[in-house]
Structures are given as structure tokens and as C-alpha cells.
Amino acid sequence: MTISFACPICGKKLSAPESLVGSERTCPKCRAKIKVPTAEQAARRKPASDSHASSPHGLLNSSGGEHEEDLIDMTAMVDIVFFLLIFFMVTSLSAVESVIGLPQPQKKTSAPVSQAAPDMANDPSFVAVTIEADDTVWVEDEQVFGSQSLRVKLRDLRNRDFQPTGMMITCNPKASHGTAVMVLDSGADVGMEDMRLAVTDAVE
């Protein structure tokens, strides 16, 4: 009678005559020493390959031969989602730009444009600001120094009874662009709504 059994190490199926029960044999696959079991012992033993196949993962113990669902680690996916969320939040921020609203230039007419500056200078709703060739700034015939002093002077004029809402800037063509921008920014900061800029002819 031949006894069929499996190697407990590699699971290779082996056979031996009943006369060799209790003796040792060498597994031809893994070269392990195996004791030939009896027929009853061989029937009770389960091949190693079958036990490994029934459990897909060493940490997951299958009971009753039921198939366990594969587990997926979502930790890395959550990190990727958060990184993408932060990326889109940063890149979607729109830049806030400060702009000063200036009136559009009027169409040329037969009347000289230079006559508009004296008229607005005499208008009580406008504050007269003059920029000289050396970048000195005058507000209502009073010289101011720096943007801070200019803002203080314009706020004082805004607190007058008639509260002027406009600013007429008369600029010498030799004055620097930075000074003109500083005057416009100061007027916008104190709440001047209507700001006009006129360039006078240079007097030799």
C-alpha cells in the first residue's frame, strides 16, 4: 500500500510504501528531512500550499474558507488630495491691484485746452495743486514736503465747510513722473473723487 503525503515545508506531494512508515526521506524540492507518516496522519495533514492559498495575506486570517476583500491603504491618497487642494487655493488667488480712476481725455475742440485749468483752479469744489520743475509741490499756494505732509494738508482742506471733492493738478513738463504719481496717490487716499491733471507750457 502506498501512502501519499505532502512536504510540510514546500508542499510538494510525495508518496512512499507503507513499509517505510516512521523512516525519514529527503524532499527532492526543498531538501528537507521528512518523516513518513501513517495513512491516518497523512489524511489529517493539510498541504502547506493549500493553507497558503486560503490566506491571501499573512495578517488576514480567513475563517471557514470565505474570501476576504482586498484592503487598500488610502493614507497616501488623502495626502495627495490635500496637496492638490492647497495648490489650487494658492494658484487661484487673484492679485488685487490698486488703481486710480482718471477721467478720459476729452475730444479736441476749437477752444484752447489750456483755458480749462484756470477755471477749475477757481472752482471751490477743486483743490489746486501745483508741481514745479524741481518737483516741489504747492497746495493752495502753500508748499508741502513729502507725501505725508501732502495727505495732512489735503485732509484739512477736505474738512472745510464746502468739502472739495476734486483736485486740479497743474504740472510742469520738467517735473518727474514719480512726483505726479505721489500726488495722485495722496489725493486718492484722502477721498478725492475727481482728479484732473494738466501740463503747462515751460516758461524760459
Domains contained in the chain, CATH given:
2-54 (no CATH), 114-199 (3.30.420)
Distance CA 152, CA 99 (A): 21
Q: How do the pLDDT tens digits run along the chain, 204 residues long?
A: 777 778 888 878 877 777 777 778 788 888 788 787 777 777 776 554 444 444 444 444 544 444 455 677 778 888 899 999 998 888 876 555 555 556 666 666 655 555 444 566 567 788 889 999 898 999 888 899 988 888 888 888 888 767 788 888 888 888 898 898 899 888 888 888 888 888 887 554
137-140's contacts with Cβ under 8 Å and 24+ in sequence apart are: 137/179, 137/183
C-alpha cell at 151: 495727505
Stated pTM of the model: 0.44
Distance CA 121, CA 115 (A): 10
